[in-house]
Amino acid sequence: MQSDNPTAAILVIGDEILSGRTREGNAHHLAQVLNATGFDLREIRVVSDDQDQIVAAVRALDGSLGGAWDLLFTSGGIGPTHDDITADAVALAHGTTVEVNDEARALLQDRCDRMGTELTPNRLRMARVPVGARLIQNAVSAAPGFSIGNTHVMAGVPEVFRGMVDWLIPQLAAGRPVQSQSVEVRRGESDVAEDLKAIAGEYPDLSLGSYPFNDADGWGTNLVVRGLDAERVSEAMAAIKQRMAL
């Protein structure tokens, strides 16, 4: 699919993801949001809670550091425990240091006051952000994420992550949302391959895909057309239906 939208990558951070202990859903959620709001997601990468791996991945993916894509979104590793090292690693990747951010501290103090709890040193760790970073609001638990360069760092807890995404995405300069149409055929993927290939050749600016399924009625294939121009997507879908006599 041809696109002039901003490109993006997602970096998921956490040993719990790689060990299989935690089912990853944040990248799936963000992928849907990015496609719907005009960002072209090009890569999803998962790394462990290892500083060298995180630094290398941030530098490889954030376009402001000479990386492959325009924007980088991260999930995980900004909590209160010893293995939450994302802030330090991202700061290192961007050539700066980490300090307790006054605004972040005030947000955490206010939440602790309202809940009748103490702002302990462990809780205060969540106010540590790279020098020069901009905060990402967190309406769920107050502890903010942050943006530095084109890296946008968010929590791993799904509810908090989604809240941060909801706040952050409208702040960014987006492109055109992806338009999509699909049709279900009761034919196997191999049976539609040649027809789909021919139509794809006629519409090189679009993305055409086939996705097999098996339900109570038997085997079938979902044919999907994706692109930035709704009229072109409709034309390609009409061509699919005509060629396959649907």
pLDDT of residue 133: 98
pLDDT exceeds cutoff 90 at 11: yes
43 domain residue, yes or no: yes
State the total domains in the chain. 2
Q: Which of 121, 151, 171 is the last residue of a domain?
A: 171
160 shares a domain with 54: yes
159 shares a domain with 189: no
40 shares a domain with 157: yes
Tell me the one-letter amino acid at 13.
Answer: I
Domain span at residue 205?
179-243
Residue 134 confidence class, pLDDT cut points 50, 70, 90: very high
- DSSP tag of 6: P
Q: Are strands 98-100 and 128-130 parallel, antiparallel or unpaired?
A: antiparallel
Residue 245 confidence class, pLDDT cut points 50, 70, 90: confident
pLDDT of residue 239: 97
2 domain residue, yes or no: no
Query: Average model confidence (pLDDT) for the chain?
Result: 96
Is residue 129 classed as helix, strand or coil in its secondary structure? strand
Q: What is the CATH number of the domain that holds 148?
A: 3.40.980.10
pLDDT exceeds cutoff 90 at 1: no
158 shares a domain with 220: no
1 domain residue, yes or no: no
Q: Residue 220 corresponds to which tokens in the numbers above?
A: 């079938």
8 A C-beta contact, residue 161 and residue 193:
no
Q: What is the CATH number of the domain that holds 227?
A: 3.30.70.600
pLDDT of residue 217: 87
pLDDT of residue 120: 95
